Amino acid sequence: MAQFHCRWRNVFVCVCTPCICLLLMLVFLTAMVCMSMNGAGAPGTNVQETPSHSVAPNDLRKKSFIPHAKTFWLAQDEGAFWNQLQLAIERYFNPILRPNDFRKRMENSNFNESLLMESFIELMDSDSMRKNFDKLSWQMQKFVSHMQKRDYPAIIQPDGVCGAGAKDEKEPPLLLLAIKTTEHNYKNRMAIRQTWGKEGWVSGHKNSSGGRESGGYVRRVFLLGREDPEEEDVSLSELLQMESEHYGDILQWDFTDTFFNLTLKDVLFWSWFSGSCNQTVFVFKGDDDVFVNTPNIITYLQDQLNKSQANDTIADFMVGDVIDSAIPHRVNNSKYFIPDSFYRGLYPTYAGGGGVVYSGLLAKRLHEISKSVHLFPIDDVYVGMCMIRLNTHPIHHPAFLTFDFPEKEKKELCSYHKILLVHKRTPKQMVRLWADLKRTQRPCWDVPLRNAVKK
């Protein structure tokens, strides 16, 4: 009787186990297919954590609003030039469709470049895309016809390894100031060198109850392209050469310094940084017409490092004036104008390019991931596009005033003590504001950083 029972149990096990296994496999396969059809798999992107973007209420009222998908991924619309180009790359790197050598492919940079080139040539061969190209403005056409090239050589480089710094640094630099400028803006560079961009040891902000003595070494580098060859001024480039010999803070590449070429300053900077700034903890990247409260930045960054979870979060760290779900400018008299034949969908979350701070570790990750993201003509949006592919996003801080103070706040005695950055200020104003900061140090000791509700 017992044997009989046992045999039946064996039959039961033999028949049902494969059935259950098959069923489970079916469920698994269905889930995989659904996920890959959604196109959710992206280089370095965790499927569950892909952030979705909601549309700000006031954006809905705008006439230029176009229907879009819930996530940046689904906005990879067919038809628009850039989206189409990038889609080929996303398909290639999709870790779900092609899981085996995903890591290897991601890390093989030469291959990524040829892949970018292939997808470009393929697209330019199609009739509809060529018609599309013909309709673009001449600036945009100029951008498109050079968007495959990013290996511009450096003409001038700092002699110190990672920009100008103190000779006797006793610890690795805490912060590298990387400032976008042009050959013409000599006055801005001079004002920055004398004020918020001084290299060497910078003490953090200290309040009346003592707080703690903190500080860090600061380095500085200016990022430039060349003036348009047709208007090139020989004396200007000679001056820049002299400036470099004197200050050692010039990093100039051999491309034309135009608005649509600004993205090159990001990718070339990341490349240079990865090779020359091994130990620098943080990077500030911003314009040469902003005023930065460097001591406040130092204190803010020290506080970040002192958080208990700092070691886990630092590789993702980026802070600035964060813009979410922005709509591309669709009016052709704006310098930000992007026609929808070029890019369709919302922009990803990004930090305004006037001034943003991120970790050195993140800079190196951006350098790697940018090799599989086609250049985009708006530089800060491009950084956002790379960030989303690293499955991370910048954090917003209201002390980054890339749209200046609200009118009332500007006149307060301590307003500049409450900020990390404000746009925009002339060289003369920078010098005066820097002196004011020192002069009002005592009465403004205890003001905390600005923490208002966003716009």
CB of 333 to ligand NAG, least distance (A): 7
Specify the residue, 172 or 398, whose C-beta has the smaller distance to ligand NAG. 172
Structure tokens at 47: 């499927």
Specify the residue, 71 or 181, whose C-beta has the smaller distance to ligand NAG. 181
Specify the residue, 75 or 251, whose C-beta has the smaller distance to ligand NAG. 251
The residue with tokens 């051999």 is 254
CB of 278 to ligand NAG, least distance (A): 4
CB of 430 to ligand NAG, least distance (A): 26
Cα–Cα distance measured from residue 291 to residue 431, given in angstroms and rounded to the nearest whole number:
10
Structure tokens at 311: 């070691």
Does residue 123 contact residue 145 with C-beta atoms inside 8 Å? no
Does residue 259 contact residue 140 with C-beta atoms inside 8 Å? no
Cα–Cα distance measured from residue 268 to residue 287, given in angstroms and rounded to the nearest whole number:
16
CB of 11 to ligand NAG, least distance (A): 58
Cα–Cα distance measured from residue 212 to residue 203, given in angstroms and rounded to the nearest whole number:
11
Structure tokens at 130: 């060529």
Q: Which residues bind ligand NAG (CB under 6 A)?
A: 137, 139, 142-143, 146, 207, 209, 211-212, 214, 255-256, 258, 260-261, 278, 302, 306, 308, 310-311, 332, 446
Does residue 226 contact residue 232 with C-beta atoms inside 8 Å? yes
Specify the residue, 38 or 256, whose C-beta has the smaller distance to ligand NAG. 256
Of 39, 38, 35, 44, the residue nearest 385 (C-alpha): 44
Cα 417 to chain centroid distance, Å, stands at: 26
Q: Which amino acid is at 237?
A: S
Specify the residue, 10 or 306, whose C-beta has the smaller distance to ligand NAG. 306
Specify the residue, 71 or 293, whose C-beta has the smaller distance to ligand NAG. 293
CB of 374 to ligand NAG, least distance (A): 14
CB of 163 to ligand NAG, least distance (A): 16
Closest residue to ligand NAG, based on beta-carbon distance = 211
Cα–Cα distance measured from residue 49 to residue 40, given in angstroms and rounded to the nearest whole number:
10
Cα–Cα distance measured from residue 264 to residue 270, given in angstroms and rounded to the nearest whole number:
10
Structure tokens at 12: 């039961």
Structure tokens at 350: 């990004």
Specify the residue, 262 or 356, whose C-beta has the smaller distance to ligand NAG. 262
Of 349, 329, 352, 348, the residue nearest 403 (C-alpha): 352
In whole angstroms, how far apart are CA 336 and each of 115, 380, 438? 28, 11, 37
Specify the residue, 139 or 341, whose C-beta has the smaller distance to ligand NAG. 139
CB of 444 to ligand NAG, least distance (A): 11
Specify the residue, 47 or 156, whose C-beta has the smaller distance to ligand NAG. 156
CB of 138 to ligand NAG, least distance (A): 8
CB of 36 to ligand NAG, least distance (A): 36
Give the sign of the dihedral formed by CA 42, CA 44, CA 45, CA 47: positive
Cα–Cα distance measured from residue 243 to residue 238, given in angstroms and rounded to the nearest whole number:
9
